Structure 1
Amino acid sequence: MTDRPGTDLVPSVTDPIVTSAIVEAPTVRAAPTVSRSRRVARAVIPPLVLLAAVIGVWYYVHRFVLSQRRKFVLPYPHDVVRVGFLEWDNLSELLEATWSSTRVAAIGLFLAILLGVAVATLMSQAKIIERAMFPMLVALQAIPILAIVPLITFWLGTGQNARVLVCVIISFFPIVLNTLFGLLGADGGLHDLVTLHRGDRWTRLRKVMFPSALPAMFAGLRISAGLSVVGAIVGDFFFGRGDVGIGQRIKQYSLNSNYNHQLFAAVIIASMMGIIVFLLFGALQSAVIGKWHDSKSGGGR
Structure 2
Amino acid sequence: MPADRGAARRPEPRWLRWVVPAAVALAALGGWEAAVRIYELPQYLLPGPVLVGKTLWAHAGSLMASWWFTLKITLGALALAVLGGVLLGGLFAVSRWVELSLFPFAVVLQVTPVIAIAPLILIFVDSTTAALLLCAWIVAFFPILANTVVGLRSADARLRDLFRLYRATPWQTLVHLLVPSALPYFLAGLRVAAGLALVGAVVAEFTAGAAGRETGLASRILEASFRTEIPKMFAALVLVSLTGIALYGLTLLLSRWLLGRWHDSERPLD
With over 3 angstroms needed to count, the CA separation of the structure-2 counterparts of 1:95 and 1:226, relative to structure 1, is: same
Counterpart Cα distance in 1 of 2:30 and 2:227: 27
Any unmatched runs of 5+ in structure 2? 1-6
What residue is the counterpart of 1:253 in the other structure?
224
Any unmatched runs of 5+ in structure 1? 1-28
What residue is the counterpart of 1:116 in the other structure?
85
Q: What is the DSSP-based 3-state SS (H/G/I as helix, E as strand, rest coil) of the residue aligned with 2:261?
A: helix
Matched, 1:181 2:150: yes
Conserved in 2, the CA contact under 8 Å of 1:58 and 1:76?
A: yes
Matched, 1:79 2:79: no
Trace 1:1-301 onto structure 2 (pairs within 5 A): 38-40=13-15, 42-64=16-38, 71-85=43-57, 87=58, 90-239=59-208, 240=210, 243-257=214-228, 259-294=229-264, 299-300=268-269
Identical-residue share of aligned pairs (%): 32
What residue is the counterpart of 2:3 in the other structure?
none
CA shift, 1:115, in A, is 0.2
Please list the CA deviations of residues 13-52 of structure 1 after superposition, one character each: whole Å capped at 9, or x if unmatched.
Answer: xxxxxxxxxxxxxxxx898687xxx312x11122112212
Give the TM-score of the pair, scaled to structure 1: 0.80
Q: What is the DSSP-based 3-state SS (H/G/I as helix, E as strand, rest coil) of the residue aligned with 1:185?
A: coil
CA shift, 1:107, in A, is 0.8
CA shift, 1:197, in A, is 1.9
Point out 4+ residue stretches in structure 1 off by more than 6 angstroms.
none
Counterpart Cα distance in 1 of 2:8 and 2:117: 58
Q: Root-mean-square deviation (CA), in Å?
A: 2.4
Conserved in 1, the CA contact under 8 Å of 2:82 and 2:141?
A: yes
State how many pairs are aligned. 263
CA shift, 1:132, in A, is 3.0
Query: Which structure carries more relative contact order (alpha carbon 8 Å, separation 6+)?
Result: 2
Please list the CA deviations of residues 36-82 of structure 1 after superposition, one character each: whole Å capped at 9, or x if unmatched.
Answer: xx312x1112211221232234235424567x5x5521112111111
Letter of the 2:142 counterpart = F
With over 3 angstroms needed to count, the CA separation of the structure-2 counterparts of 1:54 and 1:157, relative to structure 1, is: farther
